[in-house]
Amino acid sequence: MELAKSGKYPNWLEMVAKEENIDLDLLIRLIAKGEVVVPRNILRNSEFRAKAIGKFVSTKVNANVGTSEDYINVDEEVLKAKISIEAGADAVMDLSTGGNLDKIRREIMKVVDVPFGTVPIYQAAKGCKKVVDMDEDDFFKVVEKQAKDGVDFMTIHAGVNWNSVERLKRSKRLLGVVSRGGAITIGWMLHNQRENPYYENFDYLLELMKEFDVTISLGDAFRPGCIEDASDRVKYTEFILLGELVEKCREAGVQAMVEGPGHVPLDEIETSVKAMKYVTNNAPLYLLGPLVTDVAAGYDHIAAAIGAAIAGMSGADFICYVTPAEHLALPTIEDVREGVIAAKIAAHAVDLVKEGQREKARKRDLEMSIARKDLNWEKQFSLSIDPKRARETWERRKSQSDACSMCGELCAIKLVKETLDRTI
């Protein structure tokens, strides 16, 4: 941010501007204002593929991987990260809570050449017999350790303080707090009767972040975990706090994005997104979904993609994927792939109407339409968000004609085209 504020930039930013089809000077100004972030730890090598998130640039997708205490398989999580990137994920987060977290994080990072994120408090909590036994130093030591490992962005639940906890106590929430990091923080505060260290010592946190140029992702500890809790006062209290913290980040020269609500009905998404954008002065917005219904168990990737498309149209910039296993189990490799593809579809749908990306996105759809008109299957496969699935589906019931097996010789495009050819 400091380079951008002085009108300067690192050489690798030119590639980012080219990839986004955005004027380099404009990109620099957006970074300086905090309306675009480019998460990239200073320890990253030249093979790293930096990604811009925010205003005028393409909508990005994040994939979560990581172990749980019930299922620890490092090789599988590494493979999930690989599959996520192959499927089009722009970033990967390690949310591991089981096993040797240092080893797991470092093994996953070896195969991730896009922005890599973590939630440091998970490791801080796991390092103690009981979550409430952490001391204040534990909150910050793990941030420094992960920054030294090369982590590019970190979710920090700094919007939790005594004021927001009191709001929660007075609320009529059905599910209370569903954020794991938020629950850890609140539990520690209530047990120790102390302020959240990340909030109380936010300036020190920013010093650590700035040293390694780590982007802070201000976590949504009070995101609604069900439709019943959507758009309540607790959520909006946190919005305001996060807006104040964004200002501190920008003053300190630390890149910051903001995380948003989880379960929101269709007619409340636009209000939520625009409110967050307003109170955070247009900081890049990172959303989990939002999920538009609570009853899509086994298909929550679809519920989330619907919400993400509407949220993106309203101003969201970064979509955190949701897999079919959400709310049910640790996702499998195939679940991860399905989650990425669903989120990528939503992201492209957003870019079709997003200022700065509309022309580029619509060109791809136009090329697909021309390929369909020409019955050019290879071109259709290559333009698809999931070329592998498109090809497999077509070959599964291949037509004897040059059309697909849905219509065969009665294909409308084929019939009209042949008729026109004979009459011209």
Contacts of 165 (CB under 8 A, 6+ apart): 186, 189, 190
pLDDT-derived band at 107, boundaries 50, 70, 90 = very high
Does the pLDDT value for residue 253 go beyond 70?
yes
pLDDT digits (tens, 9 = 90+) for 256-288: 999 998 999 999 999 999 999 999 999 999 999
Q: What is the pLDDT of residue 69?
A: 94
As a whole number, the mean pLDDT across the chain is 96
pLDDT-derived band at 232, boundaries 50, 70, 90 = very high
Q: What is the pLDDT of residue 8?
A: 92
pLDDT digits (tens, 9 = 90+) for 379-398: 999 999 999 999 999 999 99
pLDDT-derived band at 128, boundaries 50, 70, 90 = confident
Average pLDDT of span 242-267: 97
The tally of CA atoms less than 13 A away on the side-chain side of residue 298 is 0
SS3 string, the chain, reads CHHHHCCCCCCCHHHHHHHHCCCHHHHHHHHHHCCEECCCCCCCCCCCCCCCEECCCCCEEEEEECCCCCCCCHHHHHHHHHHHHHCCCCEEEECCCCCCHHHHHHHHHCCCCCCEEECHHHHHHHCCCCHHHCCHHHHHHHHHHHHHHCCCEEEECCCCCHHHHHHHHHCCCCCCCCCHHHHHHHHHHHHHCCCCHHHHCHHHHHHHHHHHCCEEEECCCCCCCCHHHCCCHHHHHHHHHHHHHHHHHHHHCCCEEEECCCECCHHHHHHHHHHHHHHCCCCCEEEECCECCCCCCCCHHHHHHHHHHHHHHHCCCEEECCCCCCCCCCCCHHHHHHHHHHHHHHHHHHHCCCCCCHHHHHHHHHHHHHHHHCCCHHHHHHHCCCHHHHHHHHHHCCCCCCCCCCCHHHCHHHHHHHHHHHHC
Q: What is the pLDDT of residue 422?
A: 67
Q: What is the pLDDT of residue 423?
A: 63
pLDDT digits (tens, 9 = 90+) for 280-318: 999 999 999 999 999 999 999 999 999 999 999 999 999
Report the candidate in 309, 313, 256, 249 with the shortest Cα–Cα distance to residue 283. Answer: 256
Q: What is the pLDDT of residue 357?
A: 96
Please state, for a pLDDT cut of 70, what percent of the chain lies above it.
99
Of residues 128 and 393, which shows the higher confidence score?
Answer: 393
Q: Please tell me the pTM assigned to this model.
A: 0.96
pLDDT digits (tens, 9 = 90+) for 42-73: 999 989 999 999 999 999 999 999 999 999 99
All structural domains of the chain, each given as residue ranges with its CATH number in brackets, are 38-356 (3.20.20.540), 374-423 (no CATH)
Q: What is the pLDDT of residue 424?
A: 56
Cross-strand bridge partners of residue 54: 36
pLDDT-derived band at 417, boundaries 50, 70, 90 = confident
Q: What is the pLDDT of residue 400?
A: 87
Place of tokens 């749908």: 349
